[in-house]
């Protein structure tokens, strides 16, 4: 019995050591962005390999060198990666350029839009229902701090949007053809009461479907971070977060505070002077 216990203890210690060693030696790729305001260091997540590998590929190709942070919104985020920005005129509207491909969404629940998160930009759901990411454009979250009440209200709004998406999906099915015809008929009129009655009639069905598919709910970790460090929680679940800033958030704050035009483009160009992998 004692011999067996000895072997069990030995194997247990080997297992613990192996796990600990693996954790300490987990390799993360670090990307450095040199800007007019200083350096930003980004750690890429291994949990989003398609985005990680694509970002590394573009960095090695020097794709990002000399591109602008072309969209800046204080207390929200700074965005760059549009190749059209390299030689853009000051009045030129940017944000539509890319490398000619998109990346499959890699939305991981525990990777969310906290302050410093790095995520992929993308086209809206109406033309991009699969939430595929831009091949090159990304944004860094500056964000702001939220109250618990604001997060609860946001949860409710997100779930209402999910119900709307569920309704659109259901009405494409043959078994809901009559319901679709009714909705289309009401939408052509200005009859608010008829529209309200339609919503009330379909709400039990939408609530049931939402329960089946799972309501959106912030985790305790998300709530803790959003109420202390801050971020952009309204983007969670809709965009792929593939990294985070580990140094240089003061640089992000400086860029986010610059004067912008009505299209959120900085009035004075802010370039990614050089983007490279840290060795």
Question: pLDDT tens track of the chain, all 279 residues?
Answer: 455 554 444 444 444 444 444 444 469 999 999 999 999 999 999 999 999 999 999 999 999 999 999 999 999 999 999 999 999 998 899 999 999 999 999 999 999 999 999 999 999 988 998 999 999 999 999 999 999 999 999 999 999 999 998 999 999 999 999 999 999 999 888 889 999 999 999 999 999 999 999 999 999 999 999 999 999 999 999 999 999 999 999 999 999 999 999 999 999 999 999 999 998
- Residues 6+ positions from 154 with CB-CB distance below 8 Å: 146, 233, 234
pTM of the prediction? 0.84
Output the CATH code of domain 30-145+229-277.
2.40.100.10
Q: For residue 126, what pLDDT is reported?
A: 86
Q: CA 248 to CA 225: how far, in whole Å?
A: 19
Task: Please report, for residues 90, 249, 264, the alpha-carbon distance to residue 74 in angstroms, rounded to integers and kept in the order given.
Answer: 20, 13, 9
Q: For residue 25, what pLDDT is reported?
A: 47
Q: For residue 91, what pLDDT is reported?
A: 84
Q: For residue 70, what pLDDT is reported?
A: 98
Per the structure block, which two tokens stand in for 246? 């580990």
Task: Please report, for residues 45, 113, 147, 261, the alpha-carbon distance to residue 244 in angstroms, rounded to integers and kept in the order given.
Answer: 8, 9, 23, 27
Name 203's bridge partners.
none
Q: For residue 4, what pLDDT is reported?
A: 54
Q: For residue 60, what pLDDT is reported?
A: 98
Give the start-to-end residue ranges of the domains of the chain: 30-145+229-277, 149-213
Q: For residue 147, what pLDDT is reported?
A: 97
Q: CA 233 to CA 150: how far, in whole Å?
A: 10
């Amino acid at each position: 019995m004692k011999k067996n216990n000895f072997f069990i203890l030995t194997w247990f210690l080997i297992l613990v050591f192996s796990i600990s060693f693996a954790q300490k030696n987990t390799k993360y790729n670090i990307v450095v962005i040199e800007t007019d305001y200083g350096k930003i260091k980004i750690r890429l997540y291994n949990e989003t390999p398609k985005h990680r590998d694509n970002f590394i590929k573009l960095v090695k190709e020097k794709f990002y060198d000399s591109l602008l942070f072309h969209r800046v919104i204080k207390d929200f985020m700074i965005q760059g990666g549009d190749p059209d920005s390299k030689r853009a005129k000051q009045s030129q509207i940017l944000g539509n350029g890319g490398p000619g491909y998109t990346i499959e969404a890699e939305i991981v629940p525990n990777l969310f839009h906290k302050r410093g998160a790095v995520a992929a930009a993308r086209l809206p759901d109406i033309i991009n229902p699969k939430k595929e990411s831009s091949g090159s454009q990304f944004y860094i979250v500056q964000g702001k701090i939220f109250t618990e009440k604001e997060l609860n209200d946001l949860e409710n709004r997100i779930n209402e949007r999910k119900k709307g998406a569920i309704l659109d999906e259901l009405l494409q099915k043959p078994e809901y053809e009559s319901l679709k015809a009714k909705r289309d008929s009401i939408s052509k009129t200005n009859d608010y009461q008829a529209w309200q009655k339609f919503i009330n009639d379909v709400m039990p069905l939408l609530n049931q479907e939402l329960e089946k598919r799972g309501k959106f709910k912030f985790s305790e970790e998300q709530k803790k971070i959003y109420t202390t460090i801050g971020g952009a929680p309204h983007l969670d679940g809709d965009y792929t977060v593939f990294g985070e800033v580990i140094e240089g958030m003061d640089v992000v704050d400086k860029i986010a505070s610059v004067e912008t035009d009505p299209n959120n483009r900085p009035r004075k160009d802010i370039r990614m002077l050089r983007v490279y992998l840290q060795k």
